[in-house]
Amino acid sequence: MTKANYVWLTLIAVVLAACSANASAVDSGFNPALANKTDVHLADAEHDHLDLPAANLTVVLVPTELVAGPNRFAVGLFDAKQAMLHDAAVHFRYFDLSDPGQARPETEADARRLQSPDGLVTIFAQERNFDRVGDWGVEIEAQLPDGSTLRNRVGFRVAAESASLTPGEKAPAIDTPTLAAVNRDLSRLTSARQPNPALYQLSLAEAVTNGKPTLLLFATPEFCQTRFCGPAYETFNELQNRYGDQLNFIHVEVFAGLPNPANYGFKLAPAVEAFGLSSDPWLYLLAKNGNVLYRVEGLFTAAEIEQQLQLQLGL
């Protein structure tokens, strides 16, 4: 995805079709967050400008699902002038909204700033464990460099189970597409404009039997369907350059029928369906035996994943 494409996704594509499945109809002064997931965006299409809601601080919830247990809670933030916040100190205060008439303060934490390498896309995140299902709220406080502070409260729903593969579960041994399977035609494997052949040497079925852990990326550089796609493919390449001797690296496009998935109605790729995914990008870290060790949705940084490689694998 080019810079212009994912800048558009974040700075223009925040529309008023707001509420995601995560945002429940809660009272107590908590608003629904804007959804991260959108329709498919074609890379070279013309787009009209759509205004943000008139708010002091607009919140876009990055994960399309939050479940009981470990999650990366992450948001993108925009000020009243529709500018994405990049340089801010962000704090989360969580609330238990089990009783719609009373918001009960729970825990709080400082958010980490995660930014794309060129500085064009920024989200604020925390690794968070939710100990119950149901309605939750978060007050987001963003302190700006000029000393001013922006706040907003948003509600969201924590589900009992994930629709997608979670840590502790075993990844299906799928024959994901490889160069050998498509007569080395990279255009049938990836929409990346500068594809890396090293990401298509092994299928997932082969990777989980060769004695190495695996990093598996589900992403579509040219046909993104979320607001905070970011340069996932480029970051994945960076990680492959550093750790290619120690891990398997596999990229899977979200849609089948490349190079023209529109001709097939943007049908999801078989591996995407097998993992239960409905958004992009997703990055999975798998153990040598194929068990899921970690997963993350949306924009991620190389440093963030390297931290997980250290925690999960000791690399």
**Domain ranges for the chain:** 3-158, 180-313
Q: 148 CB contacts (<8 Å, ≥6 apart)? A: none
Q: Report which residue type is found at 187.
A: S
Residue among 3, 39, 40, 35 nearest 22 (CA): 35
For residue 196 the two structure tokens come to 């890396």
Residue 38: what pLDDT?
58
CA triple 39-65-109, angle to 5 deg: 120
60 pairs with which residues across the strands?
Answer: 34, 76
pTM of the predicted structure, to 2 decimals: 0.83
Q: Report which residue type is found at 48.
A: D
3-state secondary structure of 156: strand
Which value, in Å, is the radius of gyration of the alpha carbons in the chain?
A: 19
Residue 108: what pLDDT?
96
Neighbour count for residue 44 (Cβ, 10 Å): 8
Residue 100: what pLDDT?
74
Q: Under CATH, which number does the domain 3-158 receive?
A: 2.60.40.1220
Residue 227: what pLDDT?
64
Do you find a cis peptide bond into 221, omega within 30 degrees of 0? no
Residue 53: what pLDDT?
52
Alpha-carbon gap, residue 91 to 142, rounded angstroms: 7
pLDDT per 10-residue tile (average), the chain, 315 residues: 40 37 51 70 38 72 92 94 93 93 93 90 94 95 96 95 93 95 95 95 96 96 74 94 97 95 93 92 96 94 95 94
Residue 29: what pLDDT?
82
* Architecture of domain 180-313 in this structure: 3-Layer(aba) Sandwich (3.40)
- Report residue 213: phi and psi, to 5°: -65, 165
